Every structure is written in C-alpha cells, then in structure tokens.
Amino acid sequence: MTGRTENLIEVTGLRKAYRSPSGQITQAIERLDFVQRPHEFVALVGPSGCGKTTLLRCLTGLSTPDEGTVLYDGEDVTGEVPSSVSVVFQEYNRSLFPWLTVLENVRFPFRNLPKQEGRDRAMQALKRVHLEDVPNAFPWQLSGGMQQRVAIARAIASEPRFLLMDEPFASVDAQTRLSLERMTLEIFHELELAVLLVTHDIDEAIFMADRVLVLSRRPSRIVREIEVRLDRPRDQVETRALEEFQNYRREIHGLIQGGSG
C-alpha cells in the first residue's frame, strides 16, 4: 500500500448546486460521502433526475463541487481531471468523434505515445471488446451496441485503474444490453479495475455490483448502502433467478419508491 490509504477513491461531504439558465438555483447533491476500494464494483442507483450525472461530473473534474473533497489514491483531485480515471458516457453518438475511425477514436486519449505503440494498445483494447476486425470503420457505420463497445475500448485503452460509467447501456436494446453487461464484467475481472456504474436500472445494479448505493431524490444523499453477496462469476439467467437477487431488488425498489412518496 506504500503508505497510502487502502481506498482508491474517497468522497467526503460533497455538495453541489447548479444554476439553470433562468437563474434558478437547484441543490443537486445535498451531501455525499462514500469510499471505493481498488477492484471493487460499485453501482449508484436512484430515481431519475437525482443528481447521478452531477456526481459523476464532480468525480471526473468536469464540474467543481461547491463543498467537499474527492481523494483519489490519497491525493486531493477535487475539481481536477484525475489521470488513470476513464469515463464511458451515456450517449455514444455524442462521445465518439464521427470524423475519426474506430481505431483513431480509441487512440484519441493517448495521442502522445509513439505511433506503433499507440496502435498496438488501441488494437489490444479493441480485442477486449471483440471489435478487432473493424478498426478502419467509422463509428456511424456501426450499430449502437458496437459504438458503445468502441467507447468502452477507448476508456480502457489508456489503462485506467478506475472506470466511471454513466448509464452506459441506456441507449441500446435489451439483448445488446445483456451482452454488454457480461462483457463489462469480464473486463472488470481481467483488468482488475474499480468500476463505478451510474444507472437507473435496479436489476443491472444488483447483477453487476459488489455494492449498491441507493440515492434519494434531489437534493440527493445516500439513503442506503447494500452489499451484494452473490457469487461471481454471475450468470445473466441463473443469478437473476436466485431468491437473494429478488430480495435485493425488492429492498431497493422499496427505497426508491419510498423516496418518491
């Protein structure tokens, strides 16, 4: 641990309000505290409009929190873009560059590497998402699911330790969604990443995560933290059919419904 804390990320007392174009101030996050260990899969669920995306923007340095700190590997990175953190955004068609090929998109974050090395790394990442045969296609020539896989390849190609995913499977069909979830879990195991998954899908959160943080409605705070004690590797059919799975789902549903009542 070389004298560092054992948590990869520590969020303390995070508060964030934003001002709408009409000047109205909305408190998006009331107060958030949470930690995440290396190689831990955490899911954030909550009702829609609960400030999940605001939180994610604060963690990646795209927004600066009004109060509170974000420690990454023991270092204060509040309001900065931490290196060795990667993000997969919700809308692949707004995050992949249409003027670059698949390979060039994946290479984009590490453009400073020597050409061959960059190419090799990008190809390796494309292999992990099973897209090594279309490096020279343009993103808009691919299906939605394939585009999101390119976005995932880009995120892991820079060899991050921490992967943030903002509703990454919300814009694809159900079948594609299941296979993307499975693929993400494989990558999580193989690369020993820490993953923070923001989602509004309760089943997805339980299926993927070691721990689920349930957020309240705006101004959001964590209403409960649930350890998911389901064996890995998990199976889309078997795991979801387990009684414990149903219990977790009931519990989280209750919390989210209760929060809105």
Partner 1 sequence: MTTRGHSGPRLRWGATRLLVGYSAAGAALLMWEVIGRSSSTGLIPPVSVALGEAWAFVTGPRLVEDVLPSVLRILAGFILGSVLGAALGVVLGYFRSLEPWTRPLLEFLRAIPPPALLPIAVLVLGATNSMRVIVIGLGAFWPVLLSATDGTLRVDRGYLDVARVSGLSSGQALRRVVLPAAMPMIASGLRTALGIALVMMVISEMVAASSGLGFFILQSQRTYALADMFAGIIVLGVLGWFMTVGFVALERRLLAWYEGQKGR
Site for partner 1, rule CB under 8 A: 60-62, 81, 83, 85-87, 89, 91, 94-95, 97-99, 108-109, 111, 138, 140-141, 158
Q: 87 or 209, CB closer to partner 1?
A: 87
Judged by beta carbon, residue 83 or residue 236, the one nearer partner 1 is: 83
Q: Which residues of 66-82 are buried (b: 16+ CB within 10 A; e: fewer)?
A: eebebbbbeeebbeeeb
Q: List, in order, residues 6 or more apart from 189 with CB less than 8 Å away.
A: 232, 233
Min. distance of Cβ 81 from partner 1 in angstroms?
6
User: Is the Cβ of residue 158 or residue 216 nearer to partner 1 in the bound state?
Assistant: 158
Q: Which residues contact 180 (CB under 8 A, 6 or more apart)?
A: 145, 148, 149, 152, 168, 169, 172
Phi, psi of 40 (to 5 degrees): -120, 140
- Least Å distance between CB 60 and partner 1? 5
| Smallest distance from partner 1 to CB 102, Å | 12
CB of 171 to partner 1, least distance (A): 12
| Nearer Cβ to partner 1 (75/227) | 75
In the complex, minimum distance from the CB of residue 11 to partner 1, in angstroms, rounded to a whole number: 17
Q: In the complex with partner 1, which residue's Cβ is closer, 83 or 247?
A: 83
Give the H or E element holding residue 117. Answer: helix 115-128
For residue 38, whether the previous peptide bond is cis, meaning omega lies within 30 degrees of 0, is no
DSSP notation for 40-94:
-EEEEE-STTSSHHHHHHHHTTSS--SEEEEEETTEE-TTS--TTEEEE-S-GGG
